[in-house]
Amino acid sequence: MDNLRLLFDAPLLPVQLLLDGVLIGAIFALAALGMALVWGVMGIINVAQGELVMLGGYAAYFLYRAGIHPLFGVPLAAALLFCLGWALYRSLIFRVVDQDLFISILATFGLSILLQQLANAFFGADVRTAESGFGTWAVRGGAITIARIKLVAFGAALLTGGVLVLFLKSSRLGQAIRATAQNARAARVMGVDTDRVYARTFAINAAICGASGALVAMTWIVHPYLGLPYTVRSFMIVIVAGLGNLQAVLASAVALGVAENFAGFIFGAEYQTAFVFTLLVVILVLRRFWLSRQRRYLA
Partner 1 sequence: MKSVLGYVCAGALLLALPLLAPTYQTQLAFLWVMIVLALTWDLLGGQMGYNSFGNIVFFGIGMYACAVVQRDAGLGYFAGLFLGMGCGGALAVAAAAFLGAGILGLRGHYFAIATLGLGIAAGELASGWEFIGAGGGMVPPLFPGALGGRERFFYYLCFAIAAATFPVLRWLYAGRFGLALNAIRDDEDKAEAMGLRTTRYKITAWCICAFFLGLAGGAVGNLTGFIDPREVAFAGSTYGVWMVLMAILGGKGTLFGPVLGAVIFHLTKELFWTYLLGWQRVALGLLIVVIVVFFPTGILGWARVRWPERFGHRVEGA
Interface residues toward partner 1, by CB under 8 A: 45, 47, 92, 95-96, 101-103, 105-107, 109-118, 120-121, 228, 232, 235, 239, 268, 270-271, 273-274, 276-278, 280-281, 284-285, 288-289, 292, 297-299
CA atoms lying within 13 Å on the CB side of residue 58 = 22
Query: For residues 288 and 297, what is the distance between their CA atoms, to the nearest angstrom?
Result: 10
Buried/exposed 48-87: b ≥16 CB within 10 Å, e otherwise: bbbbbbbbbbbbbbbbbeeeeebbebbebbbebbbebbbe
Closer residue to partner 1, CB minimum distance, 6 or 121? 121
Closer residue to partner 1, CB minimum distance, 171 or 292? 292
Query: For residues 98 and 31, what is the distance between their CA atoms, to the nearest angstrom?
Result: 23
* Amino acid letter for position 238: V
* Amino acid letter for position 35: M
Q: How far is the CB of 231 from partner 1 (least distance, A)?
A: 8
Closer residue to partner 1, CB minimum distance, 108 or 132? 108
Closer residue to partner 1, CB minimum distance, 220 or 277? 277
Q: How far is the CB of 4 from partner 1 (least distance, A)?
A: 17
Closer residue to partner 1, CB minimum distance, 134 or 225? 225
Closer residue to partner 1, CB minimum distance, 113 or 151? 113
Say if CB 52 and CB 114 are below 8 A apart: no
Q: How far is the CB of 77 from partner 1 (least distance, A)?
A: 22
Phi, psi of 117 (to 5 degrees): -75, -35
Bridge partners of 145, per DSSP, are 138
Q: How far is the CB of 46 from partner 1 (least distance, A)?
A: 11
Query: For residues 85 and 34, what is the distance between their CA atoms, to the nearest angstrom?
Result: 12
Q: How far is the CB of 234 from partner 1 (least distance, A)?
A: 10
